[in-house]
A and B are shown apart, each in its own frame.
Chain A
Amino acid sequence: MDFHSALGLALPLGVGIAAIGSGIGLGMIGNGALQAMGRQPEAIAKLQTAMIIIGAFAEALTIYAFVTVFLLMGKI
């Protein structure tokens, strides 16, 4: 397997695998947020803000893999 094939295989695979972890994490964040919102409807605004912020963290990890694709895209 030469360099180009290996890179062309690894980059999208990397994004996909990173997305698995992010997906699970975001699901758990949503779960916790919705449960808390159900228990305390008057805190919905605060919970929404916190949920979005934490969601951005979880998503960032996949974005790192995404960025790596664009950085190495020229070398395929």
Chain B
Amino acid sequence: MGYEFLARIRRTSLMATAMGALFAAVYASYATGIAFAAGALWSLANLSLLETIVRSVTGGAHEQRRAWLAAAANLALLVAGGFLLVKLRVLPLAAGFTLPFAVIFLKSASRVLLGSKAWAAITRSPWRATALVAALAAVAYFAIVPLTRAQSGHAAPAAEHAAPAGEHAAEGAEPKKSQEFPDLVTLALEANHENPLVQQLLAVPGAESMTPEQHAEAVEKKLQGVSSIAFSLLVALLLCLVAWKAAQDKSAVPGKFRNTVEALVEPVYNQIVDILGPKYGPRYVPFLGSLFVYILFMNLFGVLPFMKSPTANLNVTVALAITVFVYVQYTAISELGFLGWLDHMAGTPRSPVEWGLVPLAFPIHLIGELAKPVSLSCRLFGNIFGEDMLLVGFAGLGVTLMKTLGLGVLPFGVPFQFVFLFLALLTSFVQALVFSMLSTIYFLLMLPHDHDHGHDQAHGGEAHHPAH
């Protein structure tokens, strides 16, 4: 125990605050989220100041002045706290205030628990531990789910299952406004739409104030969203399984499976290290390489029958692009420092002319930075969604032709879309490559580069002056 324990408390509290505020903002309201975050941050600041005071009071004579400063700051913080109490909602504020204390309690309790004999007894065998986790999950499910169901008013008799997942096959492609191929998740959810769990999943906010057509459209959209998320999780799970299986092979000469996986990983590694250089390359290869492989397999999933590309949904691509954007900016600020980042955004002004142009250069760079995730997401979405629409269009044409030929009883149509499947393979690969290469280049632009670069021309000019 000691000061590093407090530092860990701070870090965990910050992460928990961020997540809690996000959840509150999404599921309750923005005001609740802000109040929660404000309460937690206030409490953390208070605790830090108290720690400083205690350390300096017990530290020795030369530290006493810091105690006075910290006490004055704490007084200011108390005044600010009073201001917050008046302005923000009290309940989430109080909840945020107690968050660091909850974290301290839980961390200490877990420290005690981990050292105890009972824990050692449980974890001696993995099966016992799994049984305990399963028991806890079952208790949580049976305790919490009836509570939420009672809250949302679904007091209907539980588990009234409709007919089991039907053989809806090709005729499931009902065009409302935009046609889609039927996929497993959509089919399963549509077949079970009497199930109260499914109804909760597909519940649309504000359903009472919509006309039946609007409601049906909104549910359709939500269904597409849910199936996109389900497929993206499925792809991630499959990739994790493959990676785990390949990592199990620890022999000096790799077996077939590991060899295949390495044959995919090595060109990606070389490509990224080529661009980023040997110093930063290996650090960002996990993120960028995983991005490439993940997007590639998400794109390719749509070619499989009864599967759907999650990247054909704008929300998925925007999520990926925002992740890249946040990581790039975080990297820039942590590598260049905040002032260095501002300097980079202002176009690294070195001469008076460039300093004068800063008010122009800064907004331009800022807009350029914001345009990057927009273009990344729209490019990937447009390509994959466009491919999907192309396939759907031509498949529909084939079905129509089959019906016209009088063979409508067959469960498939003339396979016009077959040729475009190859184009889909190429597009999937190219778009995954472009996304990850662009992300790599965004990292490269933000990282400090010690070789010649465009905006270092002022430096290069000065270096050529004769030495005195």
A residues with a Cβ closer than 8 A to B are 52-53, 56-57, 59-60, 63-64, 66-67, 70, 73-74
A18 to B: closest C-beta gap in Å: 11
Tell me, yes or no, whether B351 is within 8 Å of chain A by CB.
no
Closest A residue, CB atoms, query B376? A60
Tell me, yes or no, whether B375 is within 8 Å of chain A by CB.
yes
Which are the 9 A-B pairs with shortest beta-carbon distances?
A: A63-B382, A60-B379, A56-B434, A74-B177, A67-B382, A66-B386, A53-B437, A64-B378, A53-B434
Q: How far is the CA of A67 from the CA of B381 in the complex (A)?
A: 8
Closest A residue, CB atoms, query B437? A53
**Residue among B386, B430, B433, B437 making CB contact with A63, cutoff 8 Å:** B386
Q: Which residues of A contact B430 (CB under 8 A)?
A: 52, 56
B316 to A: closest C-beta gap in Å: 14
Q: How far is the CA of A66 from the CA of B389 in the complex (A)?
A: 11
With A60-B378, A60-B379 given, can you name 10 additional A-B contacts, CB distance below 8 Å? A52-B430, A52-B433, A53-B434, A63-B382, A63-B383, A63-B386, A66-B386, A67-B381, A70-B178, A73-B178
Q: Which residues of B contact A56 (CB under 8 A)?
A: 379, 430-431, 433-434
With A53-B437, A70-B389 known as contacts, the answer to whether A60 contacts B177 (CB < 8 A) is no
Q: Which residues of A contact B433 (CB under 8 A)?
A: 52-53, 56
Q: Which residues of B contact A63 (CB under 8 A)?
A: 378-379, 382-383, 386
Decide if A64 touches B434 in the complex (CB within 8 Å): no
With A52-B433, A56-B434, A70-B389 known as contacts, the answer to whether A64 contacts B382 (CB < 8 A) is yes
Q: Which residues of B contact A59 (CB under 8 A)?
A: 383
Q: How far is the CA of A34 from the CA of B381 in the complex (A)?
A: 30
Q: Interface readout for B359-386 with A: 1 if CB under 8 Å, 0 if not? A: 0000000000000000100110111011
Interface size on B, residues (CB 8 A): 16
Closest A residue, CB atoms, query B314? A67
B274 to A: closest C-beta gap in Å: 9
Q: How far is the CA of A57 from the CA of B178 in the complex (A)?
A: 27
Q: Which residues of A contact B431 (CB under 8 A)?
A: 56
Closest B residue, CB atoms, query A60? B379
Q: How far is the CA of A59 from the CA of B437 in the complex (A)?
A: 16
Q: Which residues of A contact B375 (CB under 8 A)?
A: 60
B181 to A: closest C-beta gap in Å: 15
With A56-B431, A74-B177 known as contacts, the answer to whether A67 contacts B437 (CB < 8 A) is no
Q: Interface readout for B152-173 with A: 1 if CB under 8 Å, 0 if not? A: 0000000000000000000000
Q: Which residues of B contact A74 (CB under 8 A)?
A: 177-178
Q: How far is the CA of A63 from the CA of B434 in the complex (A)?
A: 14
A30 to B: closest C-beta gap in Å: 15
B459 to A: closest C-beta gap in Å: 27
Q: Which residues of A contact B434 (CB under 8 A)?
A: 53, 56-57
With A52-B433, A53-B437 known as contacts, the answer to whether A67 contacts B177 (CB < 8 A) is no
Q: How far is the CA of A43 from the CA of B431 in the complex (A)?
A: 23
B48 to A: closest C-beta gap in Å: 47
With A52-B433, A53-B433 known as contacts, the answer to whether A60 contacts B178 (CB < 8 A) is no
Q: How far is the CA of A64 from the CA of B385 in the complex (A)?
A: 11
Decide if B386 touches A67 in the complex (CB within 8 Å): yes
A-B contact pairs, 13 of them (CB 8 A): A52-B430, A56-B379, A56-B430, A56-B431, A57-B379, A60-B382, A60-B383, A63-B379, A64-B382, A66-B386, A70-B178, A70-B389, A73-B178
B424-447 contacts to A, CB under 8 A, are: 430-431, 433-434, 437
With A53-B433, A56-B431, A56-B434 known as contacts, the answer to whether A67 contacts B378 (CB < 8 A) is yes
Closest B residue, CB atoms, query A64? B378
A75 to B: closest C-beta gap in Å: 9
Q: Which residues of A contact B389 (CB under 8 A)?
A: 70
B442 to A: closest C-beta gap in Å: 13
Q: Which residues of B contact A57 (CB under 8 A)?
A: 379, 434
B252 to A: closest C-beta gap in Å: 31
Q: How far is the CA of A52 from the CA of B301 in the complex (A)?
A: 22
Q: How far is the CA of A53 from the CA of B438 in the complex (A)?
A: 9
Q: How far is the CA of A9 from the CA of B385 in the complex (A)?
A: 22
Q: How far is the CA of A59 from the CA of B430 in the complex (A)?
A: 12
Q: Which residues of A contact B177 (CB under 8 A)?
A: 73-74
A47 to B: closest C-beta gap in Å: 14
